[in-house]
Amino acid sequence: MSMLEIKNISKSFRDGSEENHVLSGLSLSVESGEIVAVLGPSGSGKSTFLSIAGLLLSADSGEVFIGGKEVSKLPKSKWTRYRKEHIGFIFQSHQLLPYLNSADQLTLFQDKKNVSKVDAMELLKELDVDSCKKKYPAKMSGGEKQRVAIARAFVNDPEIILADEPTASLDAKRGRVVVQMIRDEVKKRGKVAVVVTHDERILDLMDKVYRLENGRLTEISNS
């Protein structure tokens, strides 16, 4: 059974008098322990796709299953709670809160019931940022911040990780390290990760690579 299953998603926006079909019949299936990349030029609908998969936006038609449960049927009022418990987000720039040190970035977003399941401090160690525990984002490097952000994405033991251009604000070397870390955590914890990116240098770290074109995903050979 696929951990993340997206079936036949369509979404269009009104653009003036025209109907702009951003996604038309998009499908994707990702197994446990897999990390996949979605490539595409800007404006191709990557953000829309990620928002629908991450329960931030509803599709016009189609279904989204996470862990076998059809989440596209959930009422909007349950979305926030569901996101917190089942989806981990990694944003383009770290998006850490400026007033929290790294330890608090994790613990203040961790559900009490997950404290026994996921050791936040252990996560920081695995991502090699345990030296930043007491540091605030303003005092950390770009790579460190993004690694803390990755740790935050895992802290509530979510089924899927959605990463939005996680290397955009990093140089090539740091970008690779960061993606390698996402990959390691996904493999170790048996999660699913979907990485939306246009950074072709990290594609060799992916299990599968898709290109988003004309509102659909096509798998391209991963060399």
| Binding footprint of other proteins on the chain (CB under 8 A) | 46-47, 50-51, 54, 56-57, 80-81, 83-85, 89, 91-93, 95, 97-100, 104, 108-109, 136, 152, 156, 164-165, 168
Task: Please say which residue, 107 or 222, places its beta carbon nearer to other proteins.
Answer: 107
- Specify the residue, 109 or 121, whose C-beta has the smaller distance to other proteins: 109
- Taking the complex as a whole, the smallest distance from the CB of residue 196 to other proteins amounts, in Å, to 9
For the chain, counts of helices (H) and of strands (E) = 6, 10
Q: 57 near 10, Cβ under 8 Å?
A: no
Q: Which is nearer to other proteins, 89 or 210 (CB)?
A: 89
CB 123 within 8 A of CB 147: no
Cβ of residue 156: shortest distance to other proteins, in angstroms? 8
Strand partners, 39: 197, 211
Q: How far is the CB of 221 from other proteins (least distance, A)?
A: 27
How far are the Cα atoms of 6, 54, 134, 173 from residue 57, in angstroms, in the given order? Answer: 14, 8, 35, 33
Q: Which is nearer to other proteins, 63 or 109 (CB)?
A: 109
Mapping DSSP to helix (H, G, I), strand (E, B) and coil, where does residue 53 land? helix
List the beta strands (DSSP E) in the chain.
4-15, 18-30, 35-39, 61-66, 69-70, 87-90, 160-164, 192-197, 208-213, 216-220
From the list 117, 76, 91, the residue with the least C-alpha distance to 170 is 91
Q: Which is nearer to other proteins, 85 or 184 (CB)?
A: 85
